């Protein structure tokens, strides 16, 4: 556990933490995109994009976040798609629409954030993602969370991802906090979230839902500072540390 400095901020992971965990068909998500951008060749493109995305996530895990996944536009451009084109914009909208049921925020998120702010704490978000910042902003606005967040960092805008310390540094900078010891990170992945935050000097709360595929887990010896089974339980942990 990090030094017992006064807590100033709680930073949340996004997917699987602020949003409930869901088992996603990656190929089908890309079908929504491919059917718009290449209607006569949709299935091969969807398969290729899904394979490339999965490989990027695997490389990020293999390199401890040193190899960031990069932005989504970079991934599709590598498959010959003009990301400045109108058809790409329509295809991206279809892709984002496909994801809508899986991006709905946990109903416990807003009450938790409000309670944390009532305690004088700042709120941050740090997400490993390929999605454009605007997509995440739209989701948080839609779900009534954006105005509760003091700063958000999405690794589509960074050269690295969690668990790399630079990702956590960027998240603290975004909320105006200097010391990692005054920050708590809440996430659902033992390696990216718990190990990464603790190695940076933050306390870490693991939201344990057991849904992550074995292929996406990285073996790591780490013990969270606390474990919760649902998002609302974070408040009791924070209160015990204040």
Nearest 5°: phi and psi at 35?
A: -65, -25
Range of lowest pLDDT (105-109, 122-126, 210-214): 210-214
Top-confidence residue, 209 or 8:
8
What stretch of H or E contains 187?
strand 183-187
| pLDDT per residue as tens digits for the range 201-231 | 999 999 998 666 666 666 777 899 999 999 9
pLDDT of res. 213: 63
| pLDDT per residue as tens digits for the range 147-183 | 999 999 999 999 999 999 999 999 999 999 999 999 9
Q: What is the pTM of this model?
A: 0.93
pLDDT of residue 33 exceeding 60? yes
Count CB atoms within 10 A of the CB of residue 132: 17
Q: From residue 200, how far is each of 2, 58, 65, 203, 228 by CA, in Å?
A: 9, 22, 13, 9, 21
pLDDT of residue 25 exceeding 80? yes
């Amino acid at each position: 556990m990090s030094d017992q400095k006064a807590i100033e901020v709680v930073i949340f992971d996004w997917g699987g933490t602020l949003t409930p965990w869901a088992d996603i068909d990656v190929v089908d998500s890309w079908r929504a995109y491919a059917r718009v951008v290449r209607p006569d060749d949709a299935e091969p493109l969807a398969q290729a994009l899904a394979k490339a995305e999965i490989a990027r996530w695997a490389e990020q895990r293999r390199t401890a976040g040193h190899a960031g996944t990069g932005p989504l536009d970079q991934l599709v451009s590598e498959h010959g798609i003009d990301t400045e084109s109108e058809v790409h914009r329509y295809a991206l909208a279809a892709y984002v629409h496909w994801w809508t049921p899986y991006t709905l925020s946990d109903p416990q998120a807003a009450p938790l954030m409000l309670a944390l702010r009532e305690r004088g704490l700042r709120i941050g978000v740090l997400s490993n993602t390929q999605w454009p910042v605007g997509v995440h902003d739209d989701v948080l606005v839609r779900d009534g969370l954006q105005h509760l967040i003091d700063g958000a960092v999405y690794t589509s805008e960074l050269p690295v991802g969690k668990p790399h310390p630079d990702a956590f540094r960027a998240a603290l900078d975004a909320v105006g906090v200097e010391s990692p010891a005054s920050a708590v990170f809440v996430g659902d992945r033992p390696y990216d979230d718990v190990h990464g935050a603790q190695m940076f000097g933050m306390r870490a709360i693991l939201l344990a839902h057991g849904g992550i595929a074995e292929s996406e887990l990285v073996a790591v010896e780490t013990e969270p500072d606390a474990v919760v089974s649902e998002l609302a339980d974070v408040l009791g942990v924070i209160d015990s540390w204040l």
